[in-house]
Amino acid sequence: MRKVLFAAGLALVPAIAYAEIPEWAAPETTKSIPADQLKFITDADTAARNKVYPTVPDSVPEIIRKGKVNKITGPGVCMGCHTPSGMGGPQSAPLAGLPAAYIVRQLNDMVKGDRKTYRDDMAMFAMILAPDEMQNIANWYSSQHFTPWIEVKEADTAPKTVVGGRDLVGFAPGGGEEPLGKRIVEVAKNGAAPYMPPGPAFTAYVPKGSIAMGEQLVTTGGGGKTIQCTGCHNANLMGKGDTPAIVGRSPTYIARELYEFKDGSRGGMSATAMKRVAANLSDDDIIAISAYLASRPPA
């Protein structure tokens, strides 16, 4: 056993302190890449942000555009990870179109310590937000339309990848492919990570047969292994009330959250039902559910 961010996905993502999940074979070719060769991802990411951020309109709330300073972690700027549009990426929650009440509740769960996050700085940022700032953030992202963002491909192989600054995944120097195995590999179509629609912006490589397997688990509960998702998230999986939509979102993110429900890292009122959903899921089940949900177009 080792502690990793997301066993079924990005084997090189830095470890977290609270999720014990099985070790997966990480290609030695990517393990051995010198750290200085990873810098190109951070540079490309910075260049993309510098290019896009000046175009962010003033209609985006200032708390999202400029953030707020935290003495421990420095300035916390929402759009730095979640993007101005809220579309986000595999390393950050996609917030666009989520119910405002749900977003506020998650921020408060982080403040109370009920919801742990794989990056501690998110909880620290939440702690410095005033109630009206939380509401402004939630109202903005809730008002944004979530567009098709992920292209899911079933495959036997995937591009070789490395992980750079802020857990952003990029193509390995020299390119090439490697066996996918029991993983999800999600990479941006544009080498400089995208920050604004239109999409799809990411390609997710998933094991062959995982989408059909995931459909059975999501729609029927897999013969009692879990609880069908449609009961709470609506028949079209687009959510209802303050229950979030779950289709078309990053499979890396979906899988990470299922692991966190399963191991108890996510607590609070929202997590009670989901802990029952995730309790008996195997790694293959989590991969399959994530692949299927990501493959479904958001309405």
pLDDT for residue 5 = 33
284: exposed, middle or buried (Cβ count in 10 Å: 0-12, 13-18, 19+):
middle
pLDDT at 33: 40
- Residue 248's pLDDT is 95
Mean predicted confidence (pLDDT) in 97-109: 94
Q: Is 59 exposed, middle or buried (0-12, 13-18, 19+ CB in 10 A)?
A: exposed
Determine the topology of domain 61-143 in CATH. Answer: Cytochrome Bc1 Complex; Chain D, domain 2 (1.10.760)
Query: Mean pLDDT throughout 88-96?
Result: 88
Per-residue pLDDT at 18: 23
Q: What is the DSSP string of 30-96?
A: HHTS-GGGGHHHHHHHHHHHHHHGGG--TTS-HHHHT-EEETTTEEE-HHHHH-TTS--BTTB---T
Least Cα distance to 225 among 258, 265, 192 occurs for 258
Average pLDDT of the residues in 86-91: 87
Predicted pLDDT at 24: 30
The strand pairing partners of 163, in sequence order, are: 169
Three-state SS for 214? helix
pLDDT digits (tens, 9 = 90+) for 142-153: 999 999 999 999
Would you place residue 12 in the very low, low, confident or very high pLDDT band (cuts 50, 70, 90)?
A: very low
pLDDT-wise least confident of 19-28, 114-123, 185-194: 19-28
Residue at token pair 């802990």: 275
What is the pLDDT at residue 46? Answer: 56
The more confidently predicted of residues 193 and 56 is 56
- Cβ-based neighbours of 145, under 8 Å, separated by 6 or more: 96, 97
Task: Report domain extents, the chain.
Answer: 61-143
Report helix, strand or coil for 215.
Answer: helix
Q: Percentage of residues in the chain with pLDDT exceeding 70? A: 77
Tell the residue number behind the tokens 């490589």, with chain if given.
205
Work out whether strand 150-155 and strand 202-207 pair parallel, antiparallel, or are unpaired. parallel
| pLDDT in the model for residue 265 | 87
- Give the predicted TM-score (pTM) of the model: 0.82
The pLDDT of residue 52: 56
Structural element, H or E, at residue 154: strand 150-155
Mean pLDDT in residue range 229-249 = 93
Mean pLDDT of 11-21: 27
Beta carbons of 16 and 3 less than 8 angstroms apart = yes
Q: Which residues contact 211 (CB under 8 A, 6 or more apart)?
A: 152, 154, 288, 291, 292, 295
Mean pLDDT of 127-136: 93
Express each pLDDT in 155-203 by its tens digit: 999 999 887 766 778 888 888 999 999 999 998 887 655 556 778 989 9
**Mean pLDDT score of the chain, rounded to an integer?**
80
Q: Is residue 17 predicted with pLDDT exceeding 70?
A: no
- What integer pLDDT is reported at residue 195 of this predicted model? 58
